[in-house]
C-alpha cells in the first residue's frame, strides 16, 4: 500500500514534456518546473525514509526515498502552470527564454516566476554562480566569508520577499561551508559594503530594488573592496551562473540559517562601528545640540527610520520628527504614487504637511533602502523648495571643502584632495575645484564606478571629500564606498544648523555658491519606453543622422560642438576620436556639447525602462542673468526632445509626476 501511495505522489509531481511548437521554450518550461522545487533527498534525511502524516486517516505512512520532489515555492510554479494552461506562449517566452544581466545596480527585475525575474530560483542560481566565481578568485573564501543584507520589499503573489531571498542566498553558501554574515534585520544598503570592508569578507549581496516600483526587487553585489562589482567580475559571474543553473543539494535548505554554526549576525557590531565612523564627518556637535531648527524625516515605508534617528543622536541633534504613516516598512508603499523621493513635491506631500504643522523648516527623505536623499526647505513666501540632486551637490561640495579647510592638519595639501561625480551630473564640483585648487574627476553613470575610483585614489594616498550622482545619490567621506542616504541626511542637518547661526537658509547659500563659482542651471527628466527595439532605434538614428555613420551637427537651431558616444567609444573632442571614459556597450549613452555652453546627455536607465535626458547650462560667475540661462536651456531641451527622441512617433510615455 505504501508503494502505491509513493507512486501516486511521484506521478503528481513529475511533469511530462511540453509541446508549444518552440523547442527552446519547451526546454525552458521543463527546466523551470523541474528546478523550482526541492528534492527531499536534498534535505538530509539520512535514514533513507520519510514520514508523511495523514490526519484524516489518523496514521503516519513511511516511504522509501526514491528522488521525491516537493514544490518549494508553489506560487511561482502556479504562475508558470497558469500561463501554460492558457496557452500564453509569448509571456512564457518573455519570462523563461532570457536571463537577467548586471546593470548599474546589479541584477534588478520584477518579482515573479521566470528566469528573467527575481524569485527564489533565480536568486539560488545567482548565488551558486557567485560561489563558483568567488571560490576561483579567493583561496581564503571559506575563512573570510560573505555578507548578506536585505530591505523590506515583498510580494504576496509570488511568495517573494527580500528577507526570504536573503535567507536563500545565505543557505546556498552555508551548504558549501562558507561563513555568512547575515543581518538579522533589514538594513540600509550602505551597511552591506561597509560590513564587507569592516569584516574583511570577500564579497557581499544586498537584496533590494532601492526606489523602484513595488513589483521589483534586486541582487546588488559588492566586491571585497566595498565597491559594487564592475567588469570583468560581472561578466564572469554571469558565466558561472549559466554553468550552475540546476539547484545543488542543500541550496533550498533555508533551515541552515537557523542551525548552521557558520551563520553570524553582524547587525549590532556593524551598526556600532558605522555610527562611530560618522563622527569623522561631524564638525559642529555642540552647535547641533543647541539648534532650534526642527527637521522632519520620512523613510518612504523603507528601512531608514531607526538608522537616521541613531545618526542624529551621534551628531548631537534632537531626533528628527518622523512621518508616522511612512516610518514603518510597507512593501506596498501605500501612501506614495511611487517610492522615489526624487520625484519631488508630489511624493513628499505627507512630510511637507507634517513639517508645516510642526513648524519644521527642513524635510529629509531617504528612499526605501536609505541610500539616497531628497531635501526640501520652507521658504519665506510659504512655498517649499525641493532641491535637485545637482543643487544639493553644490551645497555638499561647498560644505565638505569648507569643513576640510577649517579642520585640516598643518601638512595637508589641497592638491591631494578629490571630489567625484558621474558624467551626467552637474559640473559644479569641477568649477569649485578649478577655483579652490583640488582635483575633480568624472566617471561613467552608476555609483559602482565612483566606488572603484575612490578605492584607487585612497590606495594612492589621496583624500576624497565628496562624490555624487545627480539622481540624489551622495557620499560624504569614505567610510562607505557607495551612496549613503543616512550619512547625507545628518550632514545636511548639520549644514542647515550651522547656516541658521548665520541667518542663512540652504537656498540662500546655494545662491552664494553659484555667485562665486558660476551658475549651473540643470534639468533632468525621462520618458518611459517598454520596447527595447524602439530604444535601440532612437540611438541608432542619432548615430546615422545626416547619413550613415554621421552624427548630427545641429539640434534644431542649436549648433553641436562635440559628441561623445560611450556606447561605441567615440568622442569627437579627442584627437584620436576615442572616449576617455570606458566603453559601455550594454547601455546607450550619447553626450552633446553645444556651442552655447550647454552639455546634454541622452541615456538609458540601468535599472528601469526609461530614456533619461540631462541638460545643464554652465555659466561663468559674470553671467548672473539666471532667467536668460533658464530660457536658453528650456529651448534647447525642447529641441533635443523634438529632434532626437521624437516622443509621438516612438510612443514614448512622458514622465507623469
Instruction: Give the residue numbers annotated as catalytic, written as ranges.
Output: 210
Q: Three-class SS of residue 587?
A: coil
Of the candidates 615, 617, 612, the residue with the CA atom closest to the CA atom of residue 602: 612
Beta bridge partners of 207: 150, 219
Q: Which residues contact 164 (CB under 8 A, 6 or more apart)?
A: 120, 254
3-state class (DSSP) for residue 284: coil
CA distance 515 to 333: 40
d(CA 157, CA 604): 29
Q: Are 531 and 568 in contact (CB under 8 A)?
A: no
- 122 Cβ contact list (under 8 Å, min separation 6): 99, 100, 115
CB 322 within 8 A of CB 299: yes
User: How far lies 300's CA from each of 220, 440, 622, in Å?
Assistant: 20, 33, 41
Instruction: Pick the closest to residue 245 from 424, 31, 9 (CA basis).
Output: 31
CB-based burial label for 261 (10 Å; 0-12, 13-18, 19+): exposed
Q: What whole-number distance in Å separates Cα of residue 397 and Cα of residue 409?
A: 19
Residues 6+ apart with CB under 8 A from 108: 100, 118, 209, 212, 216, 217, 218, 219, 607
Amino acid at each position: 500500500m505504501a508503494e502505491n501511495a509513493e507512486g501516486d505522489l511521484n506521478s503528481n509531481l513529475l511533469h511530462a514534456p511540453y509541446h508549444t511548437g518552440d523547442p527552446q521554450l519547451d526546454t525552458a518550461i521543463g527546466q523551470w518546473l523541474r528546478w523550482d522545487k526541492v528534492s527531499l533527498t536534498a534535505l538530509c534525511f539520512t535514514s533513507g525514509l520519510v514520514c508523511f502524516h495523514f490526519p484524516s486517516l489518523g496514521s503516519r505512512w513511511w516511504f522509501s526515498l526514491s528522488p521525491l520532489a516537493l514544490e518549494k515555492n508553489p506560487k511561482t510554479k502556479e504562475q508558470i502552470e497558469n500561463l501554460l494552461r492558457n496557452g500564453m506562449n509569448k509571456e512564457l517566452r518573455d519570462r523563461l527564454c532570457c536571463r537577467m544581466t548586471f546593470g548599474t545596480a546589479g541584477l534588478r527585475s520584477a518579482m515573479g516566476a521566470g528566469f528573467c525575474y527575481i524569485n527564489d530560483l533565480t536568486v539560488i542560481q545567482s548565488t551558486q554562480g557567485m560561489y563558483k566565481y568567488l571560490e576561483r578568485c579567493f583561496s581564503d573564501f571559506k575563512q573570510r566569508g560573505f555578507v548578506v543584507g536585505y530591505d523590506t520589499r515583498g510580494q504576496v503573489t509570488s511568495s517573494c520577499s527580500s528577507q526570504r531571498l536573503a535567507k536563500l542566498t545565505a543557505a546556498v553558501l552555508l551548504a558549501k561551508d562558507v561563513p555568512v554574515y547575515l543581518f538579522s534585520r533589514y538594513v540600509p544598503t550602505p551597511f552591506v559594503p561597509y560590513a564587507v570592508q569592516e569584516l574583511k569578507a570577500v564579497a557581499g549581496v544586498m537584496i533590494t530594488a532601492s526606489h523602484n516600483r513595488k513589483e521589483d526587487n534586486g541582487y546588488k553585489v559588492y566586491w571585497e573592496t566595498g565597491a559594487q562589482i564592475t567588469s570583468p567580475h560581472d561578466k564572469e559571474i554571469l558565466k558561472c551562473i549559466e554553468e550552475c543553473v540546476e539547484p545543488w543539494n542543500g541550496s533550498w535548505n533555508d533551515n541552515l540559517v537557523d542551525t548552521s554554526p557558520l551563520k553570524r549576525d553582524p547587525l549590532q557590531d556593524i551598526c556600532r562601528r558605522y555610527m562611530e565612523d560618522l563622527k569623522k564627518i561631524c564638525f559642529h556637535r555642540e552647535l547641533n545640540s543647541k539648534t532650534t531648527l526642527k527637521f522632519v524625516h520620512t523613510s518612504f515605508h523603507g528601512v531608514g527610520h531607526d538608522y537616521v534617528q541613531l545618526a542624529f543622536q551621534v551628531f548631537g541633534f534632537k531626533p528628527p520628527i518622523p512621518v508616522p504613516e511612512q516610518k514603518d516598512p510597507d512593501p506596498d508603499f501605500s501612501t506614495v504614487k511611487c517610492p522615489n523621493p526624487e520625484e519631488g513635491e508630489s511624493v513628499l506631500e505627507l512630510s511637507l504637511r507634517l513639517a508645516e504643522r510642526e513648524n519644521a523648516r527642513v524635510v529629509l527623505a531617504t528612499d526605501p533602502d536609505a541610500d539616497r536623499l531628497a531635501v526640501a526647505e520652507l521658504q519665506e513666501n510659504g512655498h517649499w523648495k525641493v532641491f535637485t540632486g545637482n543643487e544639493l551637490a553644490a551645497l555638499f561640495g561647498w560644505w565638505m571643502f569648507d569643513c576640510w579647510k577649517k579642520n585640516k592638519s598643518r601638512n595637508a595639501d589641497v592638491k591631494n584632495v578629490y571630489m567625484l561625480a558621474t558624467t551626467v551630473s552637474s559640473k559644479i564640483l569641477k568649477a569649485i575645484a578649478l577655483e579652490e585648487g583640488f582635483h575633480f574627476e568624472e566617471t561613467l553613470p552608476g555609483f559602482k564606478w565612483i566606488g572603484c575610483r575612490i578605492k584607487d585614489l585612497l590606495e594612492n594616498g589621496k583624500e576624497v571629500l565628496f562624490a555624487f550622482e545627480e539622481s540624489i545619490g551622495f557620499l560624504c567621506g569614505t567610510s562607505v564606498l557607495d551612496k549613503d542616504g543616512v550619512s547625507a541626511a545628518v550632514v545636511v542637518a548639520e549644514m542647515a544648523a550651522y547656516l541658521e547661526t548665520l541667518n542663512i537658509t540652504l537656498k540662500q547659500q546655494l545662491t552664494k555658491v553659484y555667485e562665486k563659482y558660476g551658475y549651473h542651471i540643470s534639468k533632468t527628466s525621462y520618458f518611459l519606453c517598454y520596447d527595447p527595439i524602439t530604444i535601440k532605434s532612437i540611438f541608432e538614428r542619432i548615430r546615422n543622422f545626416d547619413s550613415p555613420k554621421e552624427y548630427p551637427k545641429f539640434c534644431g537651431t542649436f549648433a553641436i560642438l562635440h559628441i561623445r558616444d560611450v556606447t561605441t567609444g567615440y568622442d569627437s573632442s579627442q584627437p584620436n576620436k576615442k572616449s576617455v571614459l570606458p566603453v559601455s556597450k550594454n547601455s546607450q549613452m550619447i553626450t552633446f556639447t553645444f556651442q552655447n555652453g550647454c552639455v546634454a546627455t541622452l541615456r538609458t536607465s540601468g535599472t528601469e525602462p526609461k530614456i533619461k535626458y540631462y541638460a545643464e547650462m554652465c555659466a561663468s560667475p559674470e553671467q548672473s542673468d539666471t532667467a536668460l540661462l533658464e530660457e536658453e536651456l528650456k529651448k534647447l531641451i525642447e529641441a533635443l526632445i523634438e529632434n532626437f527622441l521624437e516622443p509621438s512617433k516612438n510612443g514614448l510615455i512622458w514622465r507623469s509626476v
